Amino acid sequence: MIEVLDSIERWRAEDLFAQTLAARTGAEQFVFYEGPPTANGKPGIHHVFARTVKDLFTRHRSMKGYRVDRKAGWDTHGLPVEIEVEKRLGLSGKQDIERLGVAEFNRLCRESVFTYRADWERLSERIAFWLDYDHPYVTYEPDYIESVWWALATLFEAPSRLWSIGLSATQTLFDAGKIGANVRIANADYSAAVAAYRQTVLTAFQQVEDSLAAVRLLSQQILKQQQAVSSSEEALKLEIARYETGVDPYLNVVTLQTTLLTNQETLASLHVLEMTNSVTLIEALGGGWDLSQLPTPAEVSKKLDKVETTIQK
């Protein structure tokens, strides 16, 4: 224990986390935002497991030469916060809150969310889970809330990139037809233009189809891995019970704990891949596209055939 505390003091004195960032000044960035805990509840051993898995990715990226900024965050919304304040004040339900006053209740909730903040920061320091606690994001702050609404509005209101490409390509084909009729451009040039724009549209739609297939496959893999984690958790509970009654040695418990951690790490990796592929899919769609109505590349090709036929006529 003394050695651990000595190490922590040395890390503080050296400002080691800041040094690791300074050593990667100008390097390609890998930015990590901590999935924010609610600081009106105490951290538990399961948070150590989760943060250990997260730390694998940030440290690996840092060892690969990236500058890995790690931003802390605090989740300050939702029922856990409200229920904690209701219990403390002896309230039960909406009517009691309204009698107290919604503004006062909100003020008390804002105070409550940071009850155990020091405990969370101390835990992070002791397991060397480095985060920027000096500049955290806080989910009740206006800039955070506005950024969420901005992202949702952008996804909802932005015209589909595919739709824009389709309209642009169609218009270009018609323009090419007009030019061909007016100035009699060479047929080979016109055919090349048609082929190029046809390929642009088909490539965009194929990208969406491939991304969608990847996301669906990962969803199936995640479901199977979640089942594996659940099975490992149940097996560990049973083995702990057998150990406590003297039936099995503690080595069996350690083995099952290792299996559970491995399954949890695999699940975390699959979630990261799912998020990456989902971002690729969203970028391909450009927002505002109904997947149930998304035409296949073959259907798009047929529509382009009709456009070309119309132009030629």
pLDDT, one tens digit per residue, over 91-139 is: 988 899 999 999 999 899 888 888 889 999 999 998 889 999 999 999 8
For 43, 102, 103, 113, 115, the CA distances from 108, given in Å and listed in that order, are: 21, 10, 9, 9, 11
Of 126, 156, 186, which marks where a domain is finished?
Answer: 156
Q: What is the pLDDT of residues 10-22, one digit of tens each?
A: 888 888 889 989 9
Using DSSP's 3-state secondary structure scheme, residue 51 falls into helix
Find the domain containing 45 and state its range: 2-76+113-156
Q: Which backbone phi and psi does 84 adopt, to 5 degrees?
A: -60, -45
Percent of the chain with pLDDT over 90: 19
> Are 221 and 174 in the same domain?
yes
> Are 50 and 70 in the same domain?
yes
Measured CA to CA, the distance from residue 159 to residue 164 in angstroms comes to 7
Residue 93 lies in a domain: no
Count up the domains in the chain and report the number: 2
Question: Is 288 within 8 Å of 215 (Cβ atoms)?
Answer: no
Q: What is the pLDDT of residues 37-86, one digit of tens each?
A: 888 888 888 899 889 888 999 999 999 999 999 999 998 877 888 888 99
Is the pTM of the predicted complex or chain greater than 0.75?
A: no
Is residue 226 within a helix (H) or strand (E), and if so which, with residue range? helix 187-244
Of 130, 156, 182, which marks where a domain is finished?
Answer: 156
Of 121, 156, 191, which marks where a domain is finished?
Answer: 156
**The tokens of 33 are what?**
């935002």
